[in-house]
Structure 1
Amino acid sequence: MMKMSGGVTSCCVALLLALTSVSAVQKLKSINGLKKINFGTSVPKHSLVLLHWFANTVEIDSDNDIWLNFDPNCEDYGLHHYRNDERMLNQLPRGYRYYTIGNLLEDTSEQLPAYVRNPPSEYAGDNRDRIIFRVQDRGWRGLHRVDQVYITQHYDTSEHQGSRYDPDHTYQITTNLLRQIREFSVEEEQQSLSYLRHRYGRNIDDFQVNDIRDEWGDLVCLGLLLFIVIEEKYSSNQRNNRSENDRRPEDNIRWENNSPEDTRLEINNGSEDNIRWEINNGSENTVCECPCNWLVICCIVLFILALIILLCIYFLKR
């Protein structure tokens, strides 16, 4: 009885550890999920460049199965087996293997396109980012089906963890996300920039698109993807900060008193809301234009009413 109880306990502990290791890896289902990753701070920007290449290299069929168009056992693209010694990922079922790809120091990494090996310096990284995928050891009709894809990275050398991967910055990539990234292909049949911008990056204006086109040339779709995922939120914040800084009090209120008979007050609150009062005693008409929001008007009215009530209370007490 004691042996059976011990066996059950051991199985429960093993199952708990397995579930814990699986749940620790965050799953990214769309480009919106990618936007939540801190690329450039905790995650190398180059990992997104590598993921773009991988998504546009594999084949995805109508059943959402992912197929390699190269033999992983030939160690193309700097690829090699990953043994999962640290148990960061699921334990392998029989007949499956993990592979890791992206080591730019391997001789066979020369097969990677130039934009992956030598991207702009801002996206170069330090050769820590990798893609791990799980594949059936024996492919169907010579093809190899991939059923799990991850982006990960080695620990920084300052963390003294050797060549281990960092589980806190390992993310599982779904087939849907790979499909979305494939829309940013740099091949001849590219999606239009206007379509990609309106679908994934609504905050990008025409000037920014032109800048991306000038910087990336034929790789403009890749540049747009990087901007949408990494740069868009920062440029949006900077644009909002500039807008707020431009609204200084001294710029928003202007008094004009050109003569004793002419008094004018202009309040300009941004580009949309403004109040303009013109009082001209020398003419027959008094003009008052208030194309402002109702909230401002209500606040002014409430303030005047409160002032009248306070004055009435004051005089009644006297």
Structure 2
Amino acid sequence: MRKMLGGVTWCCVALLLALTSVSAVQKTLKSINGLKKINFGNSVPKHSLLLLHWFANEINIDNNDIIQLTFDPNSGAYGSHHYGNYEDLLDPLPRGNQHRYYTIGNLHQGTSIHLPPYVVNPIIEDMGRNMDRIIFRVREQNIQAYQTIDQVFITQHIPHQGTLYDPAHTYRIDINLLREIREFSVGEDQQPLSYLRNRFGSSPDDFDIENKWGHLACLGLLLYIVIQEKQSSKQQNNRPENRRNPSNEREPRKVQNQGHVVLDFNDEEDGAASRLTGNRESDCWNTLQSYKIYNYLS
């Protein structure tokens, strides 16, 4: 009986571990190149880039890669509130009461401190607003000091599923990506577009970006690099002249040779063999004709 109970207990523990490993987010975005692989506009709302841009520039990151909040998430600032992780979207919290998950990004939630206008009312349409969220894990070591963040995620609600988040489109954001996004900050200290273009290997028209985005030009460049430039590259690769046709790689070339058709496969050995066979057949034919003429005259 004890062996049976022990076996059942072990199976339950194994099942729990399996479910935990499956539910935990395994996808990590480490750079802007990683962001380019996300299907923004179809699978993931474009608006999540605006929210992530704001968040990356709102937090503080020191030289030791310590991320600190600049607001109290318990106060509801920017619509932030506690996230219980009841559906096991993320890893379970470490033991103790020093860690908590929070979510932020609800544009319709009343709050004393609001998100900036470019997040609430984007200047471009079709951004898929108010589906995307940011989840971050806070380590509450000292209530008096700024709270430290050790994990950041972007996610989105599953359509028509209430408040459930989509595990298939939940991504952990590496601190290196946060640093790269911070280079596209807007305001008085923003970087020149030419520097950012060269830094991230992009080639948009600076005038078009500045004309459309104004003082948010660096943000516009970020969206161009992640979304528009990738789409332009795909369209160029799909042009007929850029498509590779495997059936034409070994297509024989017809060459006229004294009334005979020779197939040239662009291979020296095959070509030599073809020429040798052709010469032998020609020699045999000439010999046969000479023999017939000789017998006739005789």
Number of matched pairs: 259
Q: Is the CA contact (8 Å cut-off) linking 2:93 and 2:100 kept in structure 1?
A: yes
If the length of structure 2 is used for normalisation, what is the TM-score? 0.77
1:119 to 113, 122, 141: 122
Report whether the alignment pairs 1:205 with 2:203: yes
Q: Deviation of residue 16 (structure 1)?
A: 2.4
The residue that corresponds to 1:81 in the other structure is 82
The residue that corresponds to 1:287 in the other structure is none
Q: Distance in 1 between matches of 2:190 and 2:283?
A: 79
Instruction: Give the direction of change, closer, same or farther, for the CA distance of 1:62–1:42 in structure 2 (3 Å limit).
Output: same
Q: Deviation of residue 305 (structure 1)?
A: 8.2
Q: Is the CA contact (8 Å cut-off) linking 1:110 and 1:117 kept in structure 2?
A: no
Q: Distance in 2 between matches of 1:175 and 1:31?
A: 12
Instruction: Give the direction of change, closer, same or farther, for the CA distance of 1:5–1:191 in structure 2 (3 Å limit).
Output: same
Q: Distance in 1 between matches of 2:108 and 2:229?
A: 31
Q: Deviation of residue 92 (structure 1)?
A: 1.9
Q: Deviation of residue 317 (structure 1)?
A: 4.3
Q: Deviation of residue 78 (structure 1)?
A: 1.1
1:105 to 84, 104, 108: 108
Secondary structure at 2:149's aligned position in 1?
strand
Residues 32-47 of structure 1 correspond to what in structure 2 (within 5 A)? 32-47=33-48
- What percentage of aligned pairs have identical amino acids? 52
Residues 185-204 of structure 1 correspond to what in structure 2 (within 5 A)? 185-200=185-200, 202=201, 204=202
The residue that corresponds to 2:232 in the other structure is 235
Q: Is the CA contact (8 Å cut-off) linking 1:79 and 1:102 kept in structure 2?
A: yes
Aligned letter for 2:12? S
Residues 150-169 of structure 1 correspond to what in structure 2 (within 5 A)? 150-157=153-160, 161-169=161-169
Report whether the alignment pairs 1:21 with 2:38: no
Higher relative contact order (CA 8 A, sep 6+): 2
Q: Structure 1 residues 84-93 or 136-145, which shifts more?
A: 136-145
Residues 260-271 of structure 1 correspond to what in structure 2 (within 5 A)? none
Q: Deviation of residue 83 (structure 1)?
A: 1.1
If the length of structure 1 is used for normalisation, what is the TM-score? 0.72
**Larger gyration radius, structure 1 or structure 2:** 2
Q: Deviation of residue 123 (structure 1)?
A: 5.1
Secondary structure at 2:133's aligned position in 1?
strand
Residues 209-288 of structure 1 correspond to what in structure 2 (within 5 A)? 209-240=206-237, 244=241
Q: Is the CA contact (8 Å cut-off) linking 1:28 and 1:34 kept in structure 2?
A: yes
Q: Distance in 1 between matches of 2:29 and 2:8?
A: 38
Residues 179-201 of structure 1, C-alpha deviations (whole Å, 9 max, x = no match) = 1111111132222322322232x
Q: Distance in 2 between matches of 1:316 and 1:212?
A: 74
Residues 125-169 of structure 1, C-alpha deviations (whole Å, 9 max, x = no match) = 131100011112453542111111110000112xxx222111111
Q: Distance in 2 between matches of 1:211 and 1:63?
A: 38
Instruction: Give the direction of change, closer, same or farther, for the CA distance of 1:305–1:5 in structure 2 (3 Å limit).
Output: closer
Q: Is the CA contact (8 Å cut-off) linking 1:25 and 1:168 kept in structure 2?
A: no
Q: Is the CA contact (8 Å cut-off) linking 1:139 and 1:145 kept in structure 2?
A: no
Q: Distance in 1 between matches of 2:274 and 2:8?
A: 80
The residue that corresponds to 1:172 in the other structure is 172
The residue that corresponds to 2:148 in the other structure is 145
Q: Is the CA contact (8 Å cut-off) linking 1:103 and 1:109 kept in structure 2?
A: no
Q: Deviation of residue 214 (structure 1)?
A: 1.5
The residue that corresponds to 1:249 in the other structure is none
